[in-house]
A and B are shown apart, each in its own frame.
Chain A
């Protein structure tokens, strides 16, 4: 009885610990960061400003350099996580906003890349570029932007 109880507790502990460490690991690797072209002036932006940029309303950086927005496809898992957790909007809303701009002529669509490699190279070589990535895909060709 006693041993059985201990065994259960150990098992339970292992399970809880396993779950914790598991979720910890997955969370760390899932962390999404905002990246910019290395020479982009601002290093910190508010969530509101970030939303204005990704909804294509704000067109220039403070130094008047055009903002080049890079995004992954609508159905890409990183894209949905990014819109939901960083911008706090759903990807279908962002799509509707872009479509309204593009098909009424009042704005332009963001630049679509197919995967994170293209995201990284696109943002690294385009002046004024902004995009997003999983933290573990980062390298030093781009700069990480802080979100307030």
Chain B
């Protein structure tokens, strides 16, 4: 749909929609000196504290810990007519070297309902749309929607997060409410966001002269909910394509290679009054080719899963326990082949994280969280924050606390 040369068009579209929403707020507030009744503005603000042993997470979290984890978001939505909704969100995220707190358009799109009745809804979203995969990806930067301060990193790892966030393109969606459950289906095609060094380092293992360039990518998800969401099941599939534009002739730079990442995620959740059990499993084929360097010719399949139990003591207090596992290459789970072929530590290729945490909802708008991780392996550790793989510790701990406000 978008050709190579129209690369900037969709993000401009996102900005235009954001501008439209902002403009209509200004115009309507000036015109009748009251806001239109269906305009909504929401936002959140959070400040985190991280203390780690051995490795760095979101800044220099060793020794005295770090207050360098901050998330701020502001969104607006408007329904100029019943079948049309315009929505946009601005986000600032401060989290280590990969995220410096700069403000960006998280999403900005027009949602048009093509048809809608009591049992079926069908529509299209155009612009920058959040990538629908797994249970948490679309709202991964919103503290209140997460089950913990850090999402299970096996599935939602933060070092290639920009690729996973949103796509500039189009999404078709459909919902069906039947007597035997509700179905929700999304299919999306567009360009992922790759204009950051974190993705480059994470994907091709270094900072090269040229630039990564997003190629047309695809995402689809189907969610089934029984009994109003008591049981939720989902399957998500993605084919994420990233190309490379060399800045210099081969020899001084890489060739115009391709990175293809095609994870499939299976998700399941059971919600009772007091407890919820959630589990997600992902199989993630990863292919890198045509860079003209044999070390950058890779083909492996990653595997990850977590199981998490949450218990609500009362309306204010919730506790959770989670076991989260990531294998970068499922045919080399202990990383020994990797160590033999690259000389790097084997523990760079897996991570097993046991987490326990507490959530205190002081009011429905203010939330305080704390959690403790015991981790074996560094597979999801940010390479930008920990540039030297030999200077990472296999066994390490992470403590995090976060206070969040929403409106």
Can you name the residue of chain B whose Cβ is closest to the Cβ of A83?
B228
B55 at interface (Cβ–Cβ under 8 A)?
no
Mark each residue of chain B from 162 to 189: 1 if its CB lies under 8 Å from any CB of chain A, else 0. 0000000000010101010010000000
Known: A66-B79, A105-B109. A89 touches B130 (CB 8 A): no
> How many pairs, one residue from A and one from B, have CB atoms within 8 Å of each other in the complex?
107
Contacts of A84 in B (CB 8 A): 273
Contacts of A49 in B (CB 8 A): 118, 177
Give the residues from 273 to 311 in chain B that come closer than 8 angstroms, CB to CB, to chain A: 273
Contacts of B109 in A (CB 8 A): 105
Mark each residue of chain B from 329 to 369: 1 if its CB lies under 8 Å from any CB of chain A, else 0. 00000000000000000000000000000000001100000
Assess whether A106 is in contact with B87, with CB atoms less than 8 Å apart: yes
A104 at interface (Cβ–Cβ under 8 A)?
yes
A74 at interface (Cβ–Cβ under 8 A)?
yes
Assess whether B179 is in contact with A88, with CB atoms less than 8 Å apart: no
- The smallest C-beta distance from A69 to any residue of chain B, in angstroms, reads 12
Assess whether B118 is in contact with A52, with CB atoms less than 8 Å apart: yes
Assess whether B364 is in contact with A102, with CB atoms less than 8 Å apart: no
Assess whether B38 is in contact with A108, with CB atoms less than 8 Å apart: yes
- The smallest C-beta distance from A126 to any residue of chain B, in angstroms, reads 8
B392 at interface (Cβ–Cβ under 8 A)?
no
B142 at interface (Cβ–Cβ under 8 A)?
yes
A99 at interface (Cβ–Cβ under 8 A)?
yes
Can you name the residue of chain A whose Cβ is closest to the Cβ of B89?
A105
Contacts of A96 in B (CB 8 A): 145
How many chain B residues touch the partner (CB < 8 A)? Answer: 47
Mark each residue of chain A from 98 to 135: 1 if its CB lies under 8 Å from any CB of chain B, else 0. 01101111111100000000000000001000000000
- The smallest C-beta distance from A78 to any residue of chain B, in angstroms, reads 14
Assess whether B229 is in contact with A102, with CB atoms less than 8 Å apart: no
How many chain A residues touch the partner (CB < 8 A)? Answer: 39
A90 at interface (Cβ–Cβ under 8 A)?
yes
Assess whether A58 is in contact with B118, with CB atoms less than 8 Å apart: yes
Assess whether B40 is in contact with A93, with CB atoms less than 8 Å apart: no
B213 at interface (Cβ–Cβ under 8 A)?
no
B244 at interface (Cβ–Cβ under 8 A)?
no
B324 at interface (Cβ–Cβ under 8 A)?
no
Additional pairs, 12, CB under 8 Å, beyond known A105-B111, A106-B87: A57-B121, A58-B118, A59-B113, A60-B116, A90-B273, A93-B228, A93-B271, A100-B138, A103-B44, A105-B107, A106-B173, A126-B37
Scoring B38, B108, B145 by chain A CB atoms within 10 A of each residue's CB, the highest score goes to B145
Known: A66-B82, A103-B139, A105-B75. A73 touches B42 (CB 8 A): no
State A48–B178 Cα separation when bound (angstroms).
8
A148 at interface (Cβ–Cβ under 8 A)?
no
Can you name the residue of chain B whose Cβ is closest to the Cβ of A127?
B37
Assess whether B175 is in contact with A57, with CB atoms less than 8 Å apart: yes
Assess whether B111 is in contact with A66, with CB atoms less than 8 Å apart: no
- CB-defined A-B contacts under 8 Å, sample of 21: A48-B177, A49-B118, A49-B177, A52-B182, A57-B121, A58-B116, A58-B121, A59-B116, A75-B364, A88-B228, A99-B142, A99-B144, A100-B139, A102-B42, A103-B142, A103-B144, A105-B85, A105-B129, A106-B138, A109-B40, A126-B37
A138 at interface (Cβ–Cβ under 8 A)?
no
B312 at interface (Cβ–Cβ under 8 A)?
yes
Assess whether B42 is in contact with A109, with CB atoms less than 8 Å apart: yes
- The smallest C-beta distance from B19 to any residue of chain A, in angstroms, reads 15
Contact of A105 among B77, B175, B230 (CB under 8 A): B77
Assess whether A93 is in contact with B229, with CB atoms less than 8 Å apart: yes
State A99–B312 Cα separation when bound (angstroms).
18
Known: A73-B364, A75-B364, A90-B271. A103 touches B73 (CB 8 A): yes
State A96–B146 Cα separation when bound (angstroms).
9
B398 at interface (Cβ–Cβ under 8 A)?
no
- The smallest C-beta distance from B43 to any residue of chain A, in angstroms, reads 9
Contacts of B85 in A (CB 8 A): 105, 107-108
- The smallest C-beta distance from B337 to any residue of chain A, in angstroms, reads 40
